[in-house]
Amino acid sequence: MPLSLPPLMTYCLGIITSSGFVMAADSRTNAGVDYISTYRKLFDFSNPGERVILLSTAGNLSITQGIISTLEKDLKFHDNQNLHNLESMYDVARYVGGQLRRMQEFDEAWLKKHSIDASCTLLLAGQIKGQDPALFLIYNQGNFIHATKDTPFLQIGETKYGKPILDRTLSFNTQLEAAAKCALLSIDSTMKSNISVGPPINLAMYERDTFVIDNWLRLRLGDPYLAKIRKMWEDSLKQAFEHIPNINWQHREEQSSEDILID
């Protein structure tokens, strides 16, 4: 795997809508090639009533844990600059990107020596009182982009399997509850198609201007609710599939088979 790409053994996504945001993450991690395990990848750094901040992580576990630990340490010991006193979500993203860079400075050269991928990516969602909610994707280089009305979701890790359902059902004006459902189905699709993404699933839904994460869910492997949602979605998909008519092979253009299939 090239060092410039984040490893794909995880899947997190964030969705921002006109009425709030949703964050979701699986929990499968490989900390070294022979140590595949379960680690939380969605973290709540809110200061209820004043600001909510959710962070999810993909990539090298020692780097992402290091970042989370540093953020926690700053909250406890450093009043000059931390997640609870930065004045805007832009500043928070800049600060988190800076901590990511620091962690890479500590460890990247040593990991590269042994061809270990040190890269990671982060999703950051939050709202500070008096400001709009915002959702960021922080790259391995510490720079970042934010979601917009045109592109209301951001993904990190193994993003492709779960993208079609987002492309087909989501917009900035989607109801928040529907966005949460969409996030769950996007992760479920990914788990179904890629064994390296796995439960528990952590899911959080935030309603704009409430300044508290009221809706959260953790779905373990074998959770009957998760199994039920998956079964319903599969049955609905199958019905949708059956509802599409078979291909009309007579719908040919004027070419012969030879023109069509051989250049």
Omega of the bond leading into 199 within 30 degrees of 0 (cis)? no
Q: Which is nearer to its own copies, 54 or 58 (CB)?
A: 54
Q: Which is nearer to its own copies, 33 or 260 (CB)?
A: 260
For residues 195 and 81, what is the distance between their CA atoms, to the nearest angstrom? 40
215 part of the interface to its own copies, by CB under 8 A: yes
Q: Which is nearer to its own copies, 67 or 182 (CB)?
A: 182
* Separation of CA 221 from chain center: 19
User: Shortest gap between Cβ of 75 and its own copies (angstroms)?
Assistant: 12
Give CA angle at 222 (217, 228), nearest 5°: 75
Backbone Cα Rg of the chain? 21
Contact 136, 23 (CB under 8 A): no
For residues 137 and 218, what is the distance between their CA atoms, to the nearest angstrom? 23
Q: Which is nearer to its own copies, 34 or 253 (CB)?
A: 253
71 part of the interface to its own copies, by CB under 8 A: no
Q: Which is nearer to its own copies, 133 or 200 (CB)?
A: 200
Residue 88's nearest CA partner among 147, 44, 124, 131 is 131
CB atoms within 10 A of CB 131: 13
Q: Which is nearer to its own copies, 2 or 130 (CB)?
A: 2
Residues between 152 and 211 that touch its own copies (CB under 8 A):
160-165, 167-169, 177-178, 180-182, 184-185, 189, 192-193, 202-205
- Sole window of 82-90, 94-102, 107-115, 239-247 interacting with its own copies (rule: CB under 8 A): 239-247
31 part of the interface to its own copies, by CB under 8 A: no
For residues 60 and 11, what is the distance between their CA atoms, to the nearest angstrom? 13
The enclosing H or E element of 18 equals: none
The token pair that represents 209 in the structure block? 């201007």
Binding site for its own copies (CB under 8 A): 1-2, 39-40, 42-44, 54, 160-165, 167-169, 177-178, 180-182, 184-185, 189, 192-193, 202-205, 213-218, 220, 225, 229, 232-234, 236-241, 243-249, 251-253, 255, 257-258, 260-263
